[in-house]
């Protein structure tokens, strides 16, 4: 047997609705606000519509009064006497009347339309066959009639004024009317604006109601709302933990799980962005060499094949290396070998030529043999050159160079582009940062300069930029001038460092891109 106390303890909590308390309160408030605004708008619409119809009738009645006054007191301008026929009276009335924008007139003599309004009148009553048919027999009427007629073209509100002259002649009728739809359209725009304002007001009410109800119910819903935000939109949010009970332990466990999930998602996004960004440039180089290759020249074909194979091997290595880009301190990230720096500088220039029609030159070349990873340095310089191509004009100069000074090996890429804004310089080497620089929108995930920094730091060095807007930029990679293996590199400087440097030593070679 169940006791009343047991029944009370087992009673379900809530109203049975799928909506929460805040949602139900908000729904009631918004619904009442919307209903009030709708009723107010409908009442105002009906009142304004009736006012427009009253104004049309007032204008028609005024025309009737003016016609009656002219018929009773007016004189024929040709004879100077009273009007003797319907045609002359109707014509004089139409000449004296100035129709408004949506008003028109016609004169009927007998059973046909004999008089029409001047060409400047926009509403042409005679052009609507249904209206003309409805006016059949108008000249035979005995009294003035105000009517409303809807045809395929529009809705008319018009007055029919029969004209009978006692001295003889054919009977006639003066018809003056308004385009009722056009007259109503004048104030319809006002109610469209009202509708937009009403929607905005409802939105404000909804936002205010949501904020008020949220604050009122915050002690009850704080944990649930935080958990929903975490699971649906933002992995960086964490549940606030207070106390040491079971709920606190659960919140700590969920926070730890979210830490692991966020790290996994960030690594995955970075990997996908890096792969897409890094594979574009090698593909462009291979395609450019293949397009320029002379298939009938064995030496050219062999050289192009060697370059293509080198790029394909680098692409294969990129796919493997990008898997570990998040851990740039991995020992295999760079594999330094004794490298002729001057020869490497020349080889890089040969690789860069097909990128774009620029004036490719060597500022200077070092003559030393030092420990560097030639493929990684090529990768970094290609990234910098591709960046320079994006932000420089066709035919401008892009220079590469290398130099050894004070125990440091420096590579650089110099362009004559539009430069970088001073407020963007400190952040250009950060991942996923793509400054506008006043140069428009360019493809890329904003990873190229971050990869350059990673390569420099993996060699125990750093990267920076000097830039003057309207003049150009110089990106520099500064490495230890090592001749024997060094210990694992320590953490490099902060991303985006942009101190200056001077370039000297070495000889200069200028080569210009061949124009077709």
Q: What is the pLDDT of residues 25-78, one digit of tens each?
A: 788 888 888 888 888 888 888 888 888 888 888 888 888 888 877 777 767 666
Q: How far apart are CA 412 and CA 467, in angstroms?
A: 13
Alpha helices (H) along 233-245: none
- Where would I find the beta strands (DSSP E) of 190-340? 337-340
CATH code (residue 276):
1.10.287
Amino acid 246: pLDDT: 60
Report d(CA 27, CA 37) in Å as an integer: 15
297 in a domain, yes or no? yes
Same domain, 53 and 170: yes
* CA dist list (Å): 331 to 131, 451, 459: 92, 16, 10
Q: What are phi and psi of 146, to 5 degrees?
A: -105, 125
How many domains does the chain fold into? Answer: 3
The 10s digit of each residue's pLDDT in 433-450 is: 656 544 444 444 456 788
Does residue 205 form part of some domain? Answer: yes
Of the three residues 182, 213, 234, the one that is the final residue of a domain is: 234
What's the pLDDT at 76? 67
What range defines the domain where residue 405 resides?
Answer: 328-510
The C-alpha angle with vertex 506 and arms to 502 and 510, in degrees rounded to 5, equals: 95
- Whether 157 and 148 have beta carbons less than 8 Å apart is answered as yes
- Would you put residue 472 in left (φ > 0), alpha (ψ -120 to 50) or beta? left
Domain match, 309 and 430 both = no
**475 and 372: one domain?**
yes
Which tens digits make up the pLDDT trace of 201-231? Answer: 888 888 887 787 766 555 445 556 666 676 5
Answer positive or negative: Cα dihedral of 37, 43, 46, 51: negative
State the DSSP H helix or E strand holding residue 179, giving kind and residue range, or none if neither.
strand 172-179
**Is 417 within 8 Å of 388 (Cβ atoms)?**
yes
Say whether both 205 and 145 belong to one domain: yes
pLDDT given at position 143: 84
Distance CA 363, CA 401 (A): 5
**Residue 207: both structure tokens together:** 């936002």
Residues 381 and 415 in one domain: yes
Per-residue pLDDT tens over the stretch 450-494 = 889 989 998 999 999 999 998 999 999 999 998 876 554 444 443
The number of C-alpha atoms within 13 Å of 318 and in the hemisphere containing its C-beta is 25
List the structure tokens of 277.
């960004």
Statement to judge: residues 335 and 436 lie in one domain: yes
Same domain, 248 and 219: no
């Amino acid at each position: 047997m169940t006791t009343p106390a047991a029944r009370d303890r087992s009673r379900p909590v809530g109203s049975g609705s799928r909506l929460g308390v805040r949602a139900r309160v908000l729904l009631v408030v918004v619904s009442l606000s919307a209903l009030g605004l709708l009723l107010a708008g409908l009442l105002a619409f009906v009142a304004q519509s009736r006012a427009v119809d009253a104004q049309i009738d007032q204008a028609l009645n005024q025309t009737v009064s003016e016609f009656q006054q002219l018929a009773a007191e007016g004189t024929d301008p040709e004879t100077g006497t009273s009007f003797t026929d319907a045609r002359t009276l109707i014509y004089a009335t139409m000449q004296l009347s100035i129709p408004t924008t949506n008003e028109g007139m016609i004169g009927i003599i007998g059973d046909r339309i004999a008089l029409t309004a001047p060409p400047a009148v926009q509403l042409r009553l005679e052009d609507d066959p249904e209206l003309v048919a409805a006016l059949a027999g108008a000249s035979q009427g005995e009294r003035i009639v105000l009517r409303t007629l809807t045809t395929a073209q529009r809705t008319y509100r018009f007055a029919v004024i029969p004209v009978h002259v006692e001295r003889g002649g054919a009977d006639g009728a003066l018809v003056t009317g308004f385009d009722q739809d056009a007259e109503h359209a004048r104030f319809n725009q006002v109610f469209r604006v009202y509708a937009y304002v009403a929607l905005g007001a409802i939105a404000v009410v909804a936002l205010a109601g949501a904020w008020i109800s949220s604050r009122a119910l915050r002690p009850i819903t704080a944990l649930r709302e935080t958990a929903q935000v975490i699971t649906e939109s933002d992995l960086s949010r964490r549940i606030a933990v207070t106390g040491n009970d079971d709920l606190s332990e659960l919140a700590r466990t969920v926070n730890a799980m979210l830490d692991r999930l966020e790290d996994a998602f960030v690594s995955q996004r970075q990997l996908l962005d890096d792969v897409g960004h890094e594979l574009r440039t090698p593909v462009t180089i291979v395609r450019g060499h293949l397009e320029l290759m002379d298939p009938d020249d064995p030496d050219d074909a062999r050289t192009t094949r060697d370059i293509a194979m080198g790029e394909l091997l680098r692409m294969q290595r990129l796919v493997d290396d990008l898997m570990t880009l998040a851990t740039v301190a991995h020992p295999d990230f760079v594999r330094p070998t004794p490298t002729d720096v001057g020869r490497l500088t020349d080889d890089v220039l040969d690789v860069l030529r097909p990128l774009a029609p620029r004036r490719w030159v060597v500022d200077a070349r070092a003559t030393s043999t030092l420990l560097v990873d030639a493929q990684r340095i090529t990768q970094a310089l290609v990234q910098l050159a591709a960046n320079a191509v994006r932000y420089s004009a066709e035919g401008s100069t892009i220079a590469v160079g290398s130099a050894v000074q004070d125990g440091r090996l420096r590579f650089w890429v110099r362009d004559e582009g539009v430069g970088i804004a001073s407020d963007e310089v400190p952040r250009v080497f950060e991942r996923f940062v793509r400054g506008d620089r006043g140069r428009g929108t360019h493809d890329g995930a904003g990873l190229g300069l971050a990869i350059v920094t990673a390569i420099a730091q993996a060699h125990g060095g750093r990267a920076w930029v000097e830039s003057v807007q309207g003049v150009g930029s110089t990106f520099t990679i500064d490495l230890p001038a090592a001749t024997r293996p060094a210990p694992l590199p320590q953490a490099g400087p902060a991303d985006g460092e942009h101190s200056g440097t001077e370039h000297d030593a070495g000889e200069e070679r200028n080569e210009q891109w061949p124009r077709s």
